[in-house]
C-alpha cells in the first residue's frame, strides 16, 4: 500500500502568504499536489497550519486525513507520519507547493522503493555554476567554486521504505528535506530524474511558470 504525506503547513514568508492555498488554473495549489499523489497513493495525509480554521481551507482540498503541522517542515512531516496507515509499504513525502509534479515522477520514486531502495528522490542537474560565498569586511566574496558535474537540485516527491522514514524522523531532527535525515542514518538514497517544470512556488515570480504549466 502506497501512502503519501502532502506538507501544506508552511506560512509562505518569501511568497507573502500561504501559496499552497491560492487558486491556480481552476484549482487550489494543494489540490493539484494531492491529485498528483493520487496517481500512485491510496492514502493521502495532508498537513495544514495549526492556526487555520477548517472553513479557511480550500473547498477542493480532498484528503483522507487532515492533520495539523508544526514549526518546521520536518515537524510537519512527523505530524503526517503519525497518521499514515500501518500497512504502508511505501511512504511518499510531497511539498504542497509543487503542484506541477507529474505522475511519472511519482511512478519513478515509488518504483525504486518497490525494487528495494530505502529512499528515492527526484532531482535535476544543476546548470548554473555554483560558488561558495562568505562575508568579509561587509562584502560578499567567493571562497570556492563547486564541481557542477556532481551537483543536482532536489525536488519532491521523495519516497521511502516506511521503517526508514520513521527511523529518520525518530531523532526529531531538522533538514530541508526528508532524504537529508535518511542520509544521516547512513542509508543509501537513490536519485531518479526530476522534471525541470516541477518548480516549487517560493516567491511570487514562480507563479507565471506554474500557471503556464497547469493551464
Single residue of 3, 5, 7, 81 touching ligand CTP by CB under 6 A: 7
Sign of CA dihedral 153, 158, 160, 166: positive
Binding residue (CB under 6 A) for ligand CTP from 9, 40, 66, 91: 9
Is residue 157 within the footprint of ligand CTP (CB under 6 A)?
no
d(CA 139, CA 38): 48
Encoded one letter per residue, x for contact with ligand CTP by CB under 6 A and - for no contact, window 38-77 reads ---------x---------------------xxxxx--x-
What is the residue whose three cell numbers read 483522507? 64
**Residue 22 Cβ, how far from ligand CTP at the closest point, in Å?**
12
Of all residues in the shown chain, the one whose CB is closest to ligand CTP is: 10
Scanning 52-60, 94-102, 139-147, 182-190 for contacts with ligand CTP by CB under 6 A, the matching segment is 94-102
Q: At 19, is the secondary structure helix, strand, or coil?
A: helix
Which is nearer to ligand CTP, 72 or 83 (by Cβ)?
72
Quick one: DSSP state of residue 204?
Answer: G
For ligand CTP, which residue of 17, 89, 202, 204 counts as binding (CB under 6 A)? 202
Among 84, 95, 121, 157, binds ligand CTP (CB under 6 A): 95
Give residues with Cβ within 8 angstroms of 95, minimum separation 6.
6, 7, 33, 156, 200
Binding residue for ligand CTP (CB under 6 A) from 4, 20, 93, 194?
Answer: 20
**C-alpha neighbours within 13 Å on the C-beta side of residue 151:** 11
212 neighbors 24 (Cβ within 8 angstroms): no
Amino acid at each position: 500500500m502506497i501512502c503519501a504525506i502532502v506538507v501544506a503547513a508552511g506560512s509562505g514568508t518569501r511568497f507573502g502568504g500561504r501559496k499552497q492555498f491560492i487558486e491556480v488554473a481552476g484549482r487550489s495549489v494543494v489540490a493539484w499536489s494531492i491529485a498528483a499523489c493520487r496517481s500512485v497513493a491510496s492514502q493521502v495525509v495532508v498537513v495544514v497550519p495549526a492556526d487555520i480554521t477548517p472553513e479557511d481551507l480550500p473547498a477542493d482540498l480532498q484528503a483522507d486525513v487532515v492533520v495539523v503541522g508544526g514549526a518546521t517542515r520536518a515537524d510537519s512531516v512527523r505530524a503526517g507520519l503519525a497518521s499514515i496507515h500501518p500497512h504502508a509499504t511505501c511512504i511518499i513525502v510531497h511539498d504542497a507547493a509543487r503542484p506541477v509534479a507529474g505522475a511519472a515522477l511519482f511512478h519513478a520514486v515509488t518504483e525504486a522503493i518497490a525494487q528495494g531502495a530505502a529512499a528515492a528522490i527526484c532531482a535535476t542537474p544543476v546548470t548554473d555554476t555554483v560558488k561558495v560565498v562568505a562575508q568579509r569586511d561587509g562584502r560578499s566574496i567567493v571562497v570556492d567554486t563547486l564541481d557542477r558535474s556532481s551537483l543536482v537540485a532536489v525536488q519532491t516527491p521523495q519516497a521511502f521504505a516506511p521503517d526508514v522514514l520513521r527511523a529518520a524522523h525518530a531523532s526529531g531532527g531538522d533538514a530541508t528535506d526528508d532524504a537529508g535525515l535518511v542520509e544521516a542514518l547512513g542509508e543509501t538514497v537513490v536519485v531518479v530524474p526530476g522534471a525541470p517544470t516541477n518548480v516549487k512556488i517560493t516567491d511570487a515570480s514562480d507563479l507565471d511558470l506554474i500557471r503556464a504549466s497547469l493551464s
